[in-house]
Amino acid sequence: MRKGHAKIVAAILTMCGLNTIAPGEARVVQLFGRYRGTIRTDGLRWVNPLTSREKISTRVRNHETPILKVNDAYGNPIELAAVVVWRVEDTAQAMFEVDDFLEFVSTQTEAAVRHIAIEYPYDAHDEDALSLRGNAEEITEKLAIELHARVEAAGVRIIESRFTHLAYAPEIASAMLQRQQAGAVVAARRQIVDGAAGMVEANQP
């Protein structure tokens, strides 16, 4: 009977050590509170049954911020939102370096978007200066760099980031549209005058 009980106990322990790992998942393994490694290979895997195994997704995820209202570099109230594509790259950091890596990514994304918004104007007065509306690619690249620096501690890799909404706040949108239209008219008149002056100069003997 004792041998039979021992076999049953051994079988139970063996079964407790089996883990089914799905594609896009990992298991963070701890033994008596110490990190022992991460199982990343999908399929049926066996580990020490005395360990604890925490499931963590390594799939690509999207996070979209709500529409945020901030002041741009000129102090104009604007609205903007962004979407970030990311994934967990270092499971140990994601599990142990921050309390909740999902909340951490969400908070840091919103902070980065707000910071970028106050660093640049919606529309630049100087033609050579960067603006949120006129230099979307450059600003998006700067957003990705800042995001990477902010979430690196959580073992997260930023794959892509982009703005999904960008506009003046409703209370000034009409006034700023009129200003843009007036600026376009002035620029068009200046171009006509310059063109006419060039033609006169070309016709002079």
Is position 129 within any domain? yes
What integer best gives the mean pLDDT of the chain?
A: 81
**Between 181 and 155, residue with greater pLDDT:** 155
Is position 103 within any domain? yes
Q: Are residues 47 and 68 both part of a single domain?
A: no
Instruction: Identify the domain boundary among 36, 57, 78.
Output: 57
- The CATH number of residue 125's host domain is 3.30.479.30
Q: Are residues 27 and 71 both part of a single domain?
A: no
| Per-residue pLDDT at 100 | 94
Structural domain containing residue 128: 61-168
**Structurally, how many domains does the chain consist of?**
2
Per cent of the chain over pLDDT 90 is: 45
Is position 136 within any domain? yes
| Per-residue pLDDT at 1 | 47
The tens digit of pLDDT for each residue in 71-92 reads 999 888 999 999 999 999 999 9
Q: Cβ distance 68 to 143 under 8 Å?
A: no
Indicate the pTM of the whole model: 0.73
Q: Are residues 146 and 111 both part of a single domain?
A: yes
Residue 148: HSE in the Cβ half-sphere, 13 Å Cα cutoff: 11
The tens digit of pLDDT for each residue in 92-151 reads 999 999 999 999 999 999 999 999 999 999 988 777 788 998 898 899 999 999 999 999
Q: Are residues 29 and 93 both part of a single domain?
A: no
> Which residue, among 15, 117, 103, has the nearest Cα to 71 in the 3D structure?
117
186 pLDDT band (50/70/90 cuts)? very low
Directed axis angle between helix 101-119 and helix 136-151, to 10°?
Answer: 140
**pLDDT winner (highest mean) among 35-49, 100-114, 174-188:** 100-114
Collapsing DSSP to helix, strand or coil, 2 comes out as helix
Q: Are residues 53 and 74 both part of a single domain?
A: no
Q: Are residues 82 and 157 both part of a single domain?
A: yes
